[in-house]
Amino acid sequence: DTGVSQDPRHKITKRGQNVTFRCDPISEHNRLYWYRQTLGQGPEFLTYFQNEAQLEKSRLLSDRFSAERPKGSFSTLEIQRTEQGDSAMYLCASSLAGLYEQYFGPGTRLTVT
Amino acid sequence: RKEVEQDPGPFNVPEGATVAFNCTYSNSASQSFFWYRQDCRKEPKLLMSVYSSGNEDGRFTAQLNRASQYISLLIRDSKLSDSATYLCAVNRGENKFYFGSGTKLNVKP
């Protein structure tokens, strides 16, 4: 499978715990995006990387959220001190530089209890 | 005002019908436009990009109206398998994309 992959697919955690999600983009794609989607809404942009550089962050991304893409390949999204309002689907997408067509991974569904 | 707005639907149509959705965007500087399809509890899948001249892919036709700031998606000869939520996405050239909340389509036998 040469598409975008995400791990884990599901995560249940207790409020206050830290969680980390991983995204592996399509191999030749140097742009990587993180989104959050809640029921009945479209994906909301969180952050964007070009290679290893984080070039854009949404105001939605509070200081409890951090994302990295250390070698310009896979990326991680960490949420510290999770809150119930963090429950959502976290989607990763990738694209080629110069093209805006994004391809999404299957998402990580987070439930904070 | 939201960056991108869509009628949530649902649009309930019989098989074989033609159905059209619109998506309005608020920022006239928007540059790139896309339609995605999302099945329940799945990730969005790119359906088509929307070019200034419009584009067609089989039963699907997308149009852009810059003057009125909307994009449209037309589906001809609807199939049961077209049942899904259709999301529009808009980019202002700053590598940040704005998605609508989606329009739900139910195609019934």
Q: Using one digit for the tens of pLDDT, what is the confidence trace for A12-69?
A: 999 999 999 999 999 989 999 999 999 999 999 999 999 999 998 888 788 999 999 9
- Mean pLDDT for B11-27 is 96
Local confidence band at B2 (pLDDT 50, 70, 90 cut-offs): confident
Local confidence band at B47 (pLDDT 50, 70, 90 cut-offs): very high
* Per-residue model confidence as pLDDT tens digits over B53-76: 889 999 999 999 999 999 999 999
Residue A85 sits at φ, ψ, to 5 deg, of -70, -10
Structure token pair of residue A79: 């949420």
Which of chain A's residues have a Cβ under 8 Å away from the Cβ of B100?
42
On the question of pLDDT at A3 being above 80, the answer is: yes
CA angle (A38 as vertex; A79, A34 as ends), nearest 5: 50
For residue B38, list its beta bridge partners: B85
Which residues have CB under 8 Å from A80's CB, separation 6+? A18, A64, A65, A66
- Mean pLDDT for B36-65 is 94
CB contact under 8 A, B96 and A58: yes
Cβ of A74 under 8 Å from any chain B Cβ?
no
On the question of pLDDT at A89 being above 60, the answer is: yes
Q: How far apart are CA A30 and CA A8, in angstroms?
A: 22
The predicted structure's pLDDT at residue A112: 98
Looking at the complex, report in whole angstroms how far the Cα of residue B9 sits from the nearest Cα belonging to chain A. 11
Local confidence band at A1 (pLDDT 50, 70, 90 cut-offs): low
Cβ of B51 under 8 Å from any chain A Cβ?
no
Is there a contact between A100 and B33 (Cβ–Cβ < 8 Å)? Answer: no
Cβ of B86 under 8 Å from any chain A Cβ?
no
Q: How far is CA B55 from CA A46, B26, B74, B79, in A?
A: 30, 22, 11, 20
The predicted structure's pLDDT at residue A24: 97
Residue in the structure block whose two tokens are 């001190």:
A81
The string of DSSP letters for B55-101 reads EEETTEEEEEETTTTEEEEEE-S--GGG-EEEEEEEE-SSS-EEE--
Cβ of B34 under 8 Å from any chain A Cβ?
yes
- Mean pLDDT for A66-73 is 92
The predicted structure's pLDDT at residue B54: 87
